[in-house]
């Protein structure tokens, strides 16, 4: 095997390994119950998802507003779930437009 072939194969392996963490992305479950997020804080890695399920008897509306990341759901009826994939590292607050005191702190690390 010549040097050029070895370098090409090593570059391909490096590219494939860089993609592996995305394949192993996780999902953290959070409930909306009693006008609260339960738990009220989570720590995840870039590429992970937070699945928020409305376990209340009324509507919720989920949003995140920050310079690095934005998300906005529609009104979510009881029993519905929303997935938020965090693509940037940082600290984010997930809020409910209908119930302004609700807050979920999300810490996203590399």
Question: What pLDDT digit, counting tens, does each position of 29-87 carry?
Answer: 999 999 999 999 999 999 999 999 999 999 999 999 899 889 999 899 999 999 999 99
**pLDDT confidence tier of residue 21, bands split at 50, 70 and 90:** very low
3-class SS at 8?
Answer: helix
- Confidence (pLDDT) at 46: 95
Q: Residue 13: is its pLDDT beyond 70?
A: no
Cβ neighbours, 10 Å, residue 60: 24
- Confidence (pLDDT) at 12: 59
The domains found in the chain, sorted by start residue, are: 26-109 (2.60.40.420)
Whole-structure pTM value:
0.76
């Amino acid at each position: 095997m010549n040097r050029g072939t070895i370098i090409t194969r090593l570059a391909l392996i490096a590219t494939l390994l860089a993609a592996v963490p995305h394949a192993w992305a996780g999902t953290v479950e959070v409930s909306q119950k009693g006008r609260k997020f339960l738990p009220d804080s989570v720590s995840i890695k870039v590429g992970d998802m937070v699945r928020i399920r409305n376990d209340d008897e009324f509507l919720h509306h989920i949003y995140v507003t920050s310079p690095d990341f934005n998300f906005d759901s529609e009104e979510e009826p009881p029993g519905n779930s929303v997935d938020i994939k965090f693509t940037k590292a940082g600290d984010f607050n997930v809020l409910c437009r209908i119930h302004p005191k609700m807050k979920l702190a999300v810490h996203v690390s590399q």
